[in-house]
A and B are shown apart, each in its own frame.
Chain A
Amino acid sequence: MKMDTYHRASAVGVLPRCRRDRANRLTSPAERPYRDKKTGQPMPITYTRIAIALHWVTAGLILAALALGLSMTEMPLSPQKLKFYAWHKWLGVTVFLLVVLRLIWRITHRPPPLPAELPSWQRSAAQVTHALLYVLMLTIPLTGWLMSSAKGVQTVYLGVLPIPDLLAKDEALGNLLDSVHTVLAYGLIALLVVHVVAALKHHWVDRDDVLTRMLPWIKPRKENR
């Protein structure tokens, strides 16, 4: 069995286990297993630590925002409800900012390639899902903010930083944006299910390293390399 570059680097004591991003830089490009089809340039084998951190932080915040969003709209008016709305909005603003950072990071740091043996339809499906996830992670906070403006309630980040209202108060527009925000959020839930099921399928069915390269504290699959 051929040892991958990361394990070779770890085995000779060059790298601590979790420093996968450094593995990309420290192992010589010639040793990297994947090459870009068009340019022939070696490709990174893992996500950077920043990319991994941004992924899991946004994942946690999005789940919290979804949980608050689903429960708060059903609640009768109470101080708890107002708190939930405020927290939901603060989470939304935070997710939006983090996703902008993620996009910048993704554009400037090439993600590792998918396994070479992956069927092309799955490759396309992964690209479409990831692109849509990014689109929704940006448009859901945006529609939430616009809805809030149209309903006449300014968004004040963390209760201290007022975010300007782009729209004037307009009840009909507010209700329309409310529906758009809700439909997009349910779309995000559906996509997240696809995203998670696909990741688990890679780990348990395909037994490749697609999940473990985003989960540095789980042992990577060795038998594939």
Chain B
Amino acid sequence: MNILIIGNSAAGTAAVEAIRTRDRQSSIVQLTDELHPLYSRCLLSYYLAGTISRERLQYREMDFHERMRVQLHTGKRAVELDTNRQHVVCDDGSDYLFDKLLIATGSSAKLPGNIPAGIQGVCVLRTLDDVETIREHVRYARCAVVLGGGLIGMKAACALRECGLETKVVVRSKRVLSQMIDDGASQIIGRRLLENRIEVLTETDISEIRSQDHRLVGVETDQGQVIPCELLILAKGVHPNTELIQDTDIRKRQGIETDPYMQTSHENIFAAGDVAEAFDITTEEHAINALWTCAVQQGRIAGLNIIGEQEAYDGAVGMNSLDICNSPLISYGITSPKDGSRYQMLVYEQPANNVYKKIVLKDHRIKGIILLGRIDNAGVLLSLIQRKADVSAFEHELLDDRFNFAKLVGYGDASVLEQYRQW
């Protein structure tokens, strides 16, 4: 069988590993539009901050592709897909036939329309090349502005601060990490940022870029403030790289639609990772969860089904883990529901100690969690979300720091005992 995988990050790599656990025979060709063989995108901010060396970005052995018997073709962007002939063409004219295809093309940084291209010092943080460009500018820059207060924006801001730059974050919403956490947790994070001398300008947008000789010298906000800076990081989120399927009959909404086997509407074509829409356990809708962990799980499932193993995906839970200004933060699912009346919230907070915990319940089932400052046993709570467990018997104990695996045993949850014996 000829397997073609487009994409060489979390989902593509997980698919390769899954395929090779059971199938050493099939030919695997993997394409990437980047020039680097394999690195972890999530580690880029650590590399930018100088916490780790460039070598440590490599998250598998140097001979990974050789050992996995994968022909990796770098610097090739797949631009044409013929679903009938099962044929892919790349930008350099090379072409590939496949029996099974995995589309794991990932996502790209969203670029705000009002920011002109080609100005030195205006960057995104997405690929290794992006980081190398940012590092060039860090050498001479004194001030940096980060546009966007999401996960990438926060990681970028903390990394730049670590590099010694004066750093400001511009966010359109009322608070940072508004997609990931609620107001209470966000306030604590906001204060931690300030203590680390990262200033956050909320309900603000950048209206204009100031440059001299195509080099950034400052930004102007819609509040009329002018911030001199030599570096601007655009962190306004990502959009899925679905260009390849645009002229095909493969169904998509925002991302490529998939079934529980990560199969698209075409039986020999699979999709996984940031480009794919999969069932979300907490929202009970199909959505993109552009997250490392989800991409790995989906890539694994796609890989197994490509070789006919028939393993279904339980569904995604949006989850993030972040260590921000020395405060560990983990969140899952729906943390600040829009229609609050249908949900029950449990909150425990110690703002002075930077501790904030919240559980969001609906019909006695956990739909979302925020853990700030105290994250041990977080995964035990996640398992309750994933199993859609009725937690009414121990609801009052969920926020206790001592809530652990043994609690579930104590409440007679037979499935966890099975887990203990079998796993």
Binding between chains A and B:
no
Name B residues whose Cβ lies closer than 8 Å to a Cβ of A.
none
Name A residues whose Cβ lies closer than 8 Å to a Cβ of B.
none
